[in-house]
Structure formats: structure tokens, C-alpha cells
Structure 1
Amino acid sequence: MKTYIKRICTVLLVPMALLMLTSAMPVNNGTGTGTGEVIRLGFIPLTDCAPIVMAKELGLFEKYGVKVEVTKEASWANVRDKILTGELDGAHCLFSMPFSVYTGVGGKEGSEMKIAMVLNNNGQAITLSKEFCGKVGFRQTAKAGPVVAAKLKEDKEVTFAMTFPGGTHDIWLRYWLAAAGISQKTSKIITIPPPQMVANMKVGNMDGYCVGEPWNGLAAKQNIGFTEISTQDIWKHHPEKALVVNKKFSEARREDLKNVMKAILEACKWLDNRANRKKAAGIIGKPQYINAPADVIEARLMGDYNLGCDLGTQIYTDDYMLYHRGGETNLPRKAHAIWFMTQFVRFDYLQTAPDYKAIADKLIMQDLYIEVAKSMGIKIPTDDMKPFTLTLDKVTFDPNKPDEYLKVAKK
């Protein structure tokens, strides 16, 4: 009888043990082996959060076998802190933020945030208060300097806002101010989270700001301000947002990260199909995402810019916000990282030049991106570390000679 009972127990326990072992094993999703654990990705309410949001909404994360939770964050500083502590595995993030944080401009020096891929090009803007209507118009950078100087002579402090020290919006603003001949020493530059820009301008807290959409388009629609210049007019096809991840996540969950990237790359392709942009605008405009009018989001997504201030409409045909551009957008380029770090020196955030190339090599996961892109048959650009020219002032930057650039730019 005892032998019989032992046999019965064995028959029952072995399948149970196998079931428990199987449930503890990593999930094989057909595209690589993942852990099956939830991945948390943050975003800021901006139109260029669309690749992450649409990857979620279109079921692409599930397609590639990863469980992703997307969370709306309050500010870029909040995103930085959560990535560094591991509360977020990754996020929609300013391309230049990891370099700002690592060099101590926008965080604790030496803190590592890794760039896996670029999410979009173009699509930010500088908005000026309606107080400047009739005094300066669209793309009138050279005219803006004297207008601002006149206000300063009236003993009024001129205040501009951006979204994070050393972030892309900060650098676009400072680059524009320099081109306009406006002294950054006599102007006040403050940090405001993107969704709060319009409300702050409405009550007169700033004279101008640089931010992503839809907060420039909304200011124009509400007659609070007007678009003075779009960032694609400063640098056509500039890098803007990136998928930035926690260092530990990038090392310990490499297969999960690769599958996240595949889902987002597919979303980027989907977004660059103009026929999909109306649907995208309706989804990302919802309260849980951007919480802004879909028509404003859609118009600028389509390159149709109502400038405000009776300036009419500007139509962009090949340089509105782009998410894939046939593979040209998504490669994270080390040359671009070096350019941003030279701007930190140029605008006195850093007193001495950092080791540009070493930092770019440390923080940009270019090899991983190339591996993922190749597996999806996506074109790999070959222009990294080659000179490029900015649109606004026609200045050519050679990433192999940043010190030579600074000798001219700092004058």
C-alpha cells in the first residue's frame, strides 16, 4: 500500500513541479528571449511622445513579446530622476539630456543614462509673446535682437523659458538668441515643464519660450503668442527626442530592450505614413497622454503651421516632425552628441571641454541600434562623424574638430 501511495504522489507532484519550473522560465516571444517582467517607460506630454504611445496603442509591444507600461511624467527632471533610480526602465527623453546630466550641467556629474535610439527629427519651435506682434515676424531672427534690446532699455526684464538645462529646447533657444545678437547675460532664462508653457505665458511670466508641440501651436490658436521660428529652420532634421534607458536595464535585460526598440521602430514607420497622422493625433491628444486639442496636434504633424499674430500659415513639406525618414532618423549619432556638448562650453555651462568622444561612446548604444535595425531590414545611415551644416547661420560643424569650432563660436 505504501508503495502505491508513493507512486500516486510521484505522478501528481512531477507535473506540478514541471508547471512551476515552466512558469518561472523567461518568455520566448519568437523574436528573442525576454524576462516577461513589466517594463516601465515614461513620457512627457509632447507630440513627439507618439512613438512610445502608439507602440502601446497599436499593440506593437505585445507583438514583440514585451509587457510595457507607459506613464505620464511631470517634468524632465522627474524623468531624469526616475531613470537613474530605476523607477523607470526608460523614457521618451531630450536627446541631449544624458550628456547634460553626465557632464554635471543638468544633474549629478557622472550619472549614466543610455541612448538606445532617436525618436524624431524637427518639430519644436520658439514662441514669442503677442506683445511682439507687429515688431517681429516669422523667421525674423535678425530683427528680433533690436526689438528685445529696446524692451531692455525700457528697464523691463526680458524672460525666456526652456524645459531643462542643457536640454534640446535650451540649446535651440540659446542658439537663436546668439544668432539674434541678444545677450544671454542680460536676459533671464527659466525652466518650465512643457505643458505649463502656455499657462505661464498667458499670465505674463515670460516673453518667449522654446518647447515641443503642441504647445507652440496652442499658443498661436489662443492668440497668446506666435511662432517666431521652428527648430527645423535652425537645423533641418536635427535630433530631438530619444529612447533613453536605465544603465542596469540596458545591461541586464538586453533582449527586452531590443524588443522594445523593434516595437518603437515599427511605430515610427507607421507614424511617417501621413495617412495615419490624423488617427495618431486623436489618440495622443487624449487626457491620459498630451491632453490637448487633436486639431492643433494634427495640423503641425502635417506640416501646416498657423503661426499666430496674423502672420498666416507656413507649410512644411519635407521637414515637419518626422519619426523614421527611411531609417535616417533613428540612428543615434555620436557627432550630434559632440555638437551638443560643444554648445555647453560655448554657452558657459562648462568652463572646460569634456572628453567629447569618450562620453559619446559611453552613453550612445549605437552598436545595439545597428543590430536591431539590421534585424528589421532598416537602412543604416553612414554619415556619423562627418561634418554637417546648420540651417540658420550656415555654420559647418566638424565633430572631429570641436575645439576649432569653439574658437570661432565663442567669439
Structure 2
Amino acid sequence: MLLVFTAATVNESSNSAATTTSPREKGDVIKLGFIPLTDCAPIVMAKELGLFTKYGLNVEVTKEASWANVRDKILTGELDGAHCLFSMPFSVYTGVGGKAGSEMKIAMVLNNNGQAITLSKDFCGKVGFKQTNKVAGVVAAKQKAEKEVTFAMTFPGGTHDIWLRYWLAAAGINQKTSKIITIPPPQMVANMKVGNMDGYCVGEPWGGVAVKQNVGFTEISTQDIWKHHPEKALVVNKGFSEGRREELKLVMKAVLEACKWLDNRANRKKAAAIIGKQQYVNAPADVIEARLMGDYNLGCDQGTQIYTDDYMLFHRGGDTNLPRKSHAIWFMAQYMRFDYLQSAPDYKAIADKLIMQDLYIEVAKSMNIKIPADDMKPFTLTIDKAVFDPNSPGDYLKLAKK
């Protein structure tokens, strides 16, 4: 039996929500949502450290049930913004994960790295950390015996979905013979415990919690798929971004200060204790802290993997937070690669429409934060050394689909 405890998760690609303007006016409470994941920390800590108050803002942060729930509330204006999957606005706009044409705006990136693919303990001893060459054979054997292998992610076209599919492709696993289901992040471990999936991709701490509970083990971390990949973003309602622009800039300043604070390793123990509380992530602080520090107990007698410069990062001297249009184009190219879309979207026009890069640059400059100059330049994925040129996604797809 699939353990899904909220109706909001039943149809993750529902077309029910349409874009509206924010119903609240200037000076009203600003509502920001989050999903119980370690990388909600910039929004939670901006609240806990009093940074929103410092900038004269009345901000309420609310725990949400699923990414579909976040999507719908942003589009209707019930939330002004949220901690959100970087790729969700592109998934929704293209119709992969919502009503095509619905606009969710990206103000800034919140973090890099720090997600993981967890495999069930049933695979223990059969594959090891990052041994994708062995995974394909084990999965094939299981498929032959049981006809189907099930993996889980958190939202169609979301970052976790694409990390999972990219890894499956790199491991030589036929996605068409595998079942991929959608489960909200906090419910991953419980569903694996009762055998509802063989593997899942989600953000921390739910990879670490599976290890702690001896439910599964870390097969690969997403920084080993793409070092310093974009992960979560501050995504806002279109009406809020247009009608309360000055307040949005203050929200961004508070969150940027929180990102800087979080990248001071001396602060991470305190952060773990706070975000682990029931009203936030509701998970053991020691698990959150360990992976925040780059100390990964992999489980399944694989030992410990120490990340020194590519664990979960929130600022990186400004390199993290710029929302890059090239990254948006990469995700949309994956929608084509993995058959979510049958015809190429207008990559650049969509990226221009949904990414508020000029606003981010304005805010960053006012805070003397470095502006990276690498957007729209080719970059290389870590796992397979594939080079992506955002100016030629069609050429990339010709090679990727071979």
C-alpha cells in the first residue's frame, strides 16, 4: 500500500491552478512556504535570525505538504513565494507539471548540491557508492525476476525527477521498463520501509534518515552527478513580483544574509538544531548536521564519504545565488531528452520570462555581492562528462538521445 497522506499529492501535474495576482497589498504579511527539507534553511533561518524583521518585513513561513501544494498556492496567490525546486517553474510553464503557461517567477537560487539517490537495503552488498556500472545489472536481474522496479521522485520535471532520470540513463537502466512514482519528500523513508519503492531521489535529510533507520543506503549524491548544480530557488507569485517589487527586494536581502550565515561552517550545528524542530523539518538534528557538514555515512557498510568543497552550499561567495538562464535551458532540454515534451520549447524566451535575473543583480550589487559572469556559457556534468551548450540545446539532444 502506498503511504501518501495528503490529497494534495495525488495529482502532481494537475491543471487546476491558474496564475492570479497576489490578493494582499503592500505592507501586509508576506507568506513564504517551505517543504520539510534541509535546504529550506535560508528561508527558515532568515525568520529565526530576525533578518526579515531587520528589513522591516512581516513574514510568515508555512510548512507545506507537497510540491504540488506549493505550486498551487503560489499560482493562486495564497503564498507570495516559497522555497521551491529550481526547475518547477519551467516544468509548470511547459505543461509537464501543471497548466501550461502558468507563470512562477524565480528571484534567486537558494542552494547547490545536497540531494541523494537512496537504494533499498535489499540492494546491500550488490552495488556500492557510485557504482553505476553494477547498478544496471542488479536492476535488470530484479526486473527479470519481478517484472518491475519502482523508483520515486518528488514532482514531475522537478530537480529530483531529473537527477533520478539522469542517473538511470548514466547507469544504463531502461526508464521505460521502470516505474517512477511521485511521493512528497517527508514520506520517502516510510514508503521505502514498507517496500513501495526500490530507490528514490530526494533532498536531505531524507537520504541520511534512511541510512540512520537502516532502511536504505546512499547510492550517489547529486553533487556527484553535477557539481554545484542549482537545487532550490526562491520562487514567487507573479502578482507579488510585479506589485510589491520593493518588498521582494527586501525579502531577497534577508535571505541572502541567511545564505551567507549558513555558509559559515561554525553556524551549521545551530542551523541543524533549529531546522530539525517539529515545526520545520521534523528530523534528527544529528543527521541534518552531519550531511550539512559534508560527512556522509553511506550505510550498507560502505563507510563514510567526506565532501570538502561540494556539500550543500548556500552562497559560495555569490556563485550560488544568481539564477542562471543556461540552467533553465538545461532542464528544459532534459524534458525533451526524457520524452516529457514532444516538441522543443522556446528555451530562451521561457528562461527570460520566468527568471528575474535583472532584479537579482540589482539586489546583489546593492549588497556588494559578486555577480558571476558564466551564464549562457557551456558547462560540464560530473557523472558522464557531457558538455552542455545552452546556446545549442538541439545539438546536445542529438548526442544525448543516441
Q: Comparing 277-286 with 139-148, which one deviates more in the overlay?
A: 139-148
Alignment of 1:292-371 (within 5 A): 292-371=283-362
SS at 1:249 equivalent = helix
Q: Please state if 1:50 is matched with 2:35.
A: no
Q: Of 46, 52, 55, which residue of structure 2 is paired with 1:61?
A: 52
Q: Please state if 1:406 is matched with 2:400.
A: no
In the alignment, what sits opposite 1:396? 387
Q: Of 62, 86, 101, which residue of structure 1 is paired with 2:92?
A: 101
Distance 1:315 1:113 in 2: 36
In the alignment, what sits opposite 1:7? none
Q: Please state if 1:37 is matched with 2:28.
A: yes
Distance 2:134 2:245 in 1: 50
Normalised to the residue count of structure 2, the TM-score between the two structures is 0.94
Distance 1:400 1:129 in 2: 39
Q: Comparing 313-322 with 137-146, which one deviates more in the overlay?
A: 137-146
Alignment of 1:56-135 (within 5 A): 56-135=47-126
Deviations 1:258-305 (A, max 9, x none): 000000000000000000000000000000000000000000000000
In the alignment, what sits opposite 1:144? 135
Give 1:397 shift. Answer: 0.2
Distance 2:33 2:80 in 1: 8
Q: Give structure 2 stretches of 5+ with no counterpart.
A: 1-24
Give 1:156 shift. Answer: 3.8
Runs of 4+ in structure 1 over 4 Å off = none
The amino acid that maps onto 2:128 is: G
Q: Of 163, 186, 192, which residue of structure 2 is paired with 1:201?
A: 192
In the alignment, what sits opposite 1:163? 154
Distance 2:133 2:342 in 1: 28
Distance 1:155 1:271 in 2: 45
Distance 2:27 2:67 in 1: 28
Alignment of 1:269-308 (within 5 A): 269-308=260-299
Distance 1:46 1:219 in 2: 14
Give 1:145 shift. Answer: 0.5
Q: Give structure 1 stretches of 5+ with no counterpart.
A: 1-33
Give 1:141 shift. Answer: 1.1
Deviations 1:217-246 (A, max 9, x none): 000111100000000000000000000000
Distance 1:318 1:222 in 2: 27
Give 1:143 shift. Answer: 1.1
Distance 1:140 1:333 in 2: 31
Q: Of 359, 364, 381, which residue of structure 1 is paired with 2:372?
A: 381
Distance 2:333 2:272 in 1: 35
Distance 1:95 1:296 in 2: 24
In the alignment, what sits opposite 1:189? 180
Give 1:155 shift. Answer: 2.7
SS at 2:252 equivalent = helix
Deviations 1:77-133 (A, max 9, x none): 000000000000000000000000000000000000000000000000000000000
Distance 2:147 2:101 in 1: 39
Determine what percentage of the aligned residue pairs are the same residue. Answer: 88
Distance 1:256 1:320 in 2: 31
In the alignment, what sits opposite 1:6? none
Normalised to the residue count of structure 1, the TM-score between the two structures is 0.92
Query: Considering only aligned residues, what root-mean-square deviation do their CA atoms show, in Å?
Result: 0.7
Q: Please state if 1:249 is matched with 2:206.
A: no
SS at 1:154 equivalent = helix
The amino acid that maps onto 1:313 is: T
Distance 2:78 2:330 in 1: 30
Give the greater-gyration-radius structure (CA): 1
Distance 2:172 2:304 in 1: 27
Query: What is the total number of aligned residue pairs between the two structures?
Result: 378
Deviations 1:38-72 (A, max 9, x none): 00000000000000000000000000111100000
Distance 2:126 2:346 in 1: 43
Deviations 1:193-220 (A, max 9, x none): 0000000000000000000000000001
The amino acid that maps onto 2:267 is: N
In the alignment, what sits opposite 2:205? 214
Distance 2:27 2:177 in 1: 53
SS at 2:211 equivalent = helix
The amino acid that maps onto 2:395 is: E
